[in-house]
Structure 1
């Protein structure tokens, strides 16, 4: 192998190792305030859009007690779903607003962790193609932490 190929291979391995260091955070104290998400037509005019949209408010509570004094990044993650879903949210506290699709993650916090609990209120907007929805689904959201220097 040439030196350049070896270097590229090492960079790819280190990038994969850094991703593997993501730690799932405990957000079991989070609370969905509005219950089931009622999906409605994004555009009620017939034939205009096949997209459904719905909103839900979530009190996000992330246990950061084991991370206190560390610095890093926290990501909001939406696992792969049977039906492709897009999510966007506003935030009212220390977490960043953002958007993602199923199978992706989005940065919601970067910097030092100085408290035992990160709390925020997300107003989550969900979008899905009505042609692909066949049954109600439970979305799998969670949060991950990556320490700085990885």
Structure 2
């Protein structure tokens, strides 16, 4: 009986130690410097009504398009593996949806304000990731009363070092 109790105690201790190591292996998240990115279209994004007279109960959606040359400085994580996310904080004027296509190493996707979308998974082999996003923005035209800035960003979750 003492042997069985000892084995159980050892199994519990190993299980708890495994939980602690798993907790320390959680990926760390860092903001990526994207200050070299630039909007390729001059001026403000021109938003247009999707429908001049929306059907009853449907939102008055406005849509605009813009192209952005995305330049991510990933030099601090060169030689590591990670997941890169495109982020957009919550919009004070109501929901915003963004769809984009990408030309290079980053993935196309969809993002709603207050969320983040995965755009890259894998090794960081260079100092910069460069791509072109062609974004389509959609918002509720009844709630957007004046031009506003959207604070897009990028963040990286590093995989634990092995």
Following superposition of structure 1 onto structure 2, how do residues 94-133 of structure 1 map, counting pairs within 5 Å?
94-133=105-144
- Based on CA coordinates, which of the two structures has the bigger radius of gyration? 2
Shift of 1:25: 0.4
For 2:54 and 2:32, the matched residues in 1 are separated by: 42
Where do 5+ consecutive residues of structure 1 fail to align? 1-6
For 2:137 and 2:62, the matched residues in 1 are separated by: 8
Q: 2:153 is matched with which residue: 119, 138, 142?
A: 142
The 3-state SS of whatever aligns with 1:144 is: strand
Q: 2:37 is matched with which residue: 19, 30, 33?
A: 30
For 1:94 and 1:43, the matched residues in 2 are separated by: 35
Stretch deviating more after TM superposition (23-32 or 130-139): 130-139
Matched, 1:39 2:54: no
Following superposition of structure 1 onto structure 2, how do residues 42-61 of structure 1 map, counting pairs within 5 Å?
42-44=50-52, 46-48=53-55, 50-61=60-71
For 1:79 and 1:136, the matched residues in 2 are separated by: 17
Equivalent residue for 1:71?
Answer: 81
Shift of 1:136: 1.1
For 1:54 and 1:112, the matched residues in 2 are separated by: 34
CA RMSD of aligned residues (A): 2.4
Shift of 1:18: 4.3
Aligned length: 139
Where do 5+ consecutive residues of structure 2 fail to align? 1-15
The 3-state SS of whatever aligns with 1:137 is: coil
- The two structures have a TM-score, normalised by structure 2, of 0.78
- The two structures have a TM-score, normalised by structure 1, of 0.84
The 3-state SS of whatever aligns with 2:133 is: strand
